[in-house]
Amino acid sequence: MNTRRYQFRLSGLRENKGWIKVTTLQCSLNALVKTAECATRLMFTGEGSGRGPRPRWLNAALDFTLKEEKLGSTTLEIEAPQLGETAYTQFAQQNFWREQLTWQDTAVDLAALSVQEALEATSSGDYFDRAVLSAILKFRQPTGNADISYHLIPQESDYGEFTLNASVCNRIEERLKSLPPPRAFIISGWLEEIKHDSSRFFLDLSDGRKMFGRLQSDQLDVEALRPLWGKRATVQGMIHFKANGQPRLIEAHRLRPYQDRDALFEELPPTEMPRSRGLTPKQEKQARSFNVLSLCGTWPGNEPVEELLAQLD
């Protein structure tokens, strides 16, 4: 299997030169693998977290090899398999923001891209979400080495490098706190695909953009929805946003065929609820916590669009 090689250097350790505590080594490698896992999930599924056991293709992508450590060194030699081989099917499918990737890239490259983008103040957030940023923060776990630094250096490419230390992790934590929260919404578009094995779908929106979707398996029957494939549909659920406020994923609670009155739902939501005017702090708090799904207890019902608009106002 084709691989790429990296050096993973640890510095600032309190042990003698060339020595490292087993717990520190374990936490450091776990943080690297977890960041790579979440970043790879995000790239191919639309979200950095997942339910249940890892799929086989992801296990294969994370099958890193640690070469024998050189005596007197805290530099680890790591080999990672290329995604073009481990995740061939996932890589061959159409995705939305992988212009920088090639078949030779690895899960370690995706981990590095997520760190790099998270540190860019104006980045869009294509390579990280809450799960990815939380995984990066696991590098802070070796509390006995507060001054420890991690430096990933690719050996066969001109990108995929990162440096992490306490101050950098603090910036990552601030980025995590600043991510837009998910919002309940109803959106209409063309249902491009439904995957039974992962309960996922793609939604083509009226403005030409695409959105990942995930079905709530305990509420939706995937097989019953297959007749909607390739047709217009209306989805009710929670939309998760990227750092720049653009929608990344909708977690679908309900999905049905498109109706003429659903033209109201063809536009994507703004990142945040508009600030209320002339309200008390208590009323503003209530407005911010308002859930649009509460308007749709019998959705899809027969209520006229005018009535729904009045409720939204």
Q: pLDDT of the chain along its 313 residues, tens only?
A: 899 999 999 988 888 887 888 888 899 999 999 999 999 999 888 889 887 788 899 999 999 998 866 655 688 999 999 998 888 777 666 554 455 678 788 999 999 999 999 999 888 898 999 999 999 999 987 655 568 899 999 997 777 899 999 899 999 999 999 999 888 888 888 887 666 556 778 888 887 777 888 877 565 666 667 778 788 888 888 888 899 888 888 888 888 888 888 887 877 766 553 343 444 444 444 444 444 444 444 444 444 544 544 444 4
The full 3-state SS of the chain, as one line of letters, equals CCEEEEEEEEECCCCCCCCCCHHHHHHHHHHHHHHHHHHHHHHHHCCCCCCCCCCHHHHHHCCCEECCCCCCCCEEEEEEEEHHHHCHHHHHCCCCCCCCCCCCCEHHHHHHHHHHHHCCCCCCCCCCCHHHHHHHHHHHCCCCCCCCEEEEEECCCCCCCEEECHHHHHHHHHHHHHCCCCEEEEEEEEEEEEECCCCEEEEECCCCCEEEEEECCCCCCHHHHHHHCCCEEEEEEEEEECCCCCEEEEEEEEEEECCHHHHHHCCCCCCCCCCCCCCCHHHHHHHHCCCHHHHHCCCCCCCCHHHHHHHHC
Q: Could you say which architecture CATH assigns to the domain 186-312?
A: Beta Barrel (2.40)
Q: Is the pTM for the entire model greater than 0.85? A: no
Segments making up each domain of the chain, as ranges: 3-178, 186-312
